[in-house]
Amino acid sequence: MKNKILKFSFLILALVAGLTSCDTEPLDGGVTDGNPNNNNGQASFSVTFSGSQYLTNTVSAEIESGVLSITAVSSEGMFMIQSMGATVGTYQNSQVNIAYMDAESGEIYSSINPISGNSSSMLTIASINQQNQTINGTFQFGG
């Protein structure tokens, strides 16, 4: 159990390492209020990997200081995505960090190579609608 907590703590530390300030930038309506359970069941996060589909409605997305952070949690595990950009476009490698923690095994799969520190990832944001509080896009990473 202590090992899982240590792994999770390392994941959180690795994902926020690029942040230098945490001032909240005001948005017209914002993307979310930061509470992943406050989306009235309308939010969704779906990923297909290794022949399996990961789907959850417990998801939050926040934009702070131009950094987009998405967290999706289910009984299977947790995805965390952090992009150094929060506008429509494609972000790659050091511009985006992606991680998945498997709930059963406690294993963490991260786009950040633990030896080199380089990231192998890509996030394409197709649209951001702040009024409807939606973000659409795709991502991929090797972890």
Task: Please indicate whether residue 134 or residue 50 has the higher confidence score (pLDDT).
Answer: 134
The CA–CA distances, whole Å, from 15 to 52, 68, 112, 114, 119 equal 25, 11, 9, 12, 11
Poorest-pLDDT segment among 4-13, 31-40, 73-82, 125-134? 4-13
Provide Rg for the chain, Cα atoms: 15
Residue-level pLDDT at 105: 93
89, β-bridge pairs: 125
Residue 42: which pLDDT band, with cuts at 50, 70 and 90? low
Residue-level pLDDT at 23: 33
Q: Is the pLDDT of residue 94 over 80?
A: yes
Look at the chain and count its residues. 143
User: Over the stretch 7-24, which tens digit does the pLDDT of each residue have?
Assistant: 444 444 343 333 333 333
Phi–psi pair at 41, nearest 5 degrees: 70, 5
Q: Is the pLDDT of residue 41 over 60?
A: no
